[in-house]
A and B are shown apart, each in its own frame.
Chain A
Amino acid sequence: QQQVKQSPQSLIVQKGGIPIINCAYENTAFDYFPWYQQFPGKGPALLIAIRPDVSEKKEGRFTISFNKSAKQFSLHIMDSQPGDSATYFCAASLSGAGSYQLTFGKGTKLSVIP
C-alpha cells in the first residue's frame, strides 16, 4: 500500500516556468512533510519541509502549499533554472515513533529547458 502518492512522474518546463509537483498522503498521523532533491549519482538532499499547522512555507524560490483537509501538499519552484533539473521526492513521517523514518513518494523527474 503506497502511503504517499506523487504526481506527475515527469515534468518538462522552460527556464523561468513554475513547475508544480503534487503529493497526497493517506495516514492522518503524519505530521512532517519534507521535499528532497536528488541529482544523478547522489543521495537525496533536503530542500524544504512543512508541518500541518502551516498552509504555506517559502524558502527562496521553493514553496510548499499544504491542504490538511484534502491530505495533499505540493511543491512550486519559482523562476525555474536548468540547474533545478533533478528528481524531486515528497515524503512524510510521524513524530513520537521510536525511530525517525520517512515514507517517500515515487519521485518526479524535472527537466528545465534553457
Chain B
Amino acid sequence: ETGVTQSPTHLIKTRGQQVTLRCSSQSGHNTVSWYQQALGQGPQFIFQYYREEENGRGNFPPRFSGLQFPNYSSELNVNALELDDSALYLCASSSGTAQLYGYTFGSGTRLTVV
C-alpha cells in the first residue's frame, strides 16, 4: 500500500508566475485535501476535493484553485504568485469526506517565491 505522494518536493518561482503542484492519493482513498503551512506555523486548510468537485474551502483567494482526477489524484494551482505564498503545501488523502475517516498527509512541496 503506497502512501500519499507529492511532486515536486521543492521548487522556486518568481512573483507573478503560476505554479501547479501534484498529489497522488493513498490507495483506496477518494478524497483529497490541501493545506498551506507557512514557516513556523500550523497547516491551514485550503480546500477539499471529492468526486472531482470542490466540497469545502478555507479562507484562500480564488487564485488558489484545484482539480481532482478520476483516479483521485489532485492538483493545486496558484496564479499570480505572491511572496507570502512561500510555504510547504501539504496534500492529505482520506477514504471519505467525513471526520471519522481521518487523513494521511504527504511530505509536502516546499514552494519558494522570489
Query: How many angstroms between the C-alpha atoms of A6 and B35 in the bound complex?
Result: 19
Interfacial chain B residues near A44, Cβ < 8 Å: 43, 90, 105
Q: How large is the interface on B (under 10, 10 to 19, 20 to 34, 35 or more residues)?
A: 20 to 34
Is B30 on the interface with A (CB-CB < 8 A)? no
- Contact between A99 and B56 (Cβ–Cβ < 8 Å)? yes
The contact string, 1 if C-beta is below 8 Å from chain B, for chain A 48-86, is 000000000000000000000000000000000000000
Binds A, one of B64-72, B79-87, B96-104: B96-104
- Contact between B98 and A95 (Cβ–Cβ < 8 Å)? yes
Within 8 A of A (CB), among B3-60: 4, 31, 33, 35, 40-45, 48, 50, 55-56, 58
- Contact between B40 and A98 (Cβ–Cβ < 8 Å)? no
Q: Smallest Cβ distance from B70 to chain A, in angstroms?
A: 20
User: Which residues on A are within 8 Å of B, measured CB to CB?
Assistant: 4, 6, 32, 41-46, 89, 91, 93-95, 97-107
User: Which residues on B are within 8 Å of A, measured CB to CB?
Assistant: 4, 31, 33, 35, 40-45, 48, 50, 55-56, 58, 90, 92, 94, 97-103, 105-108
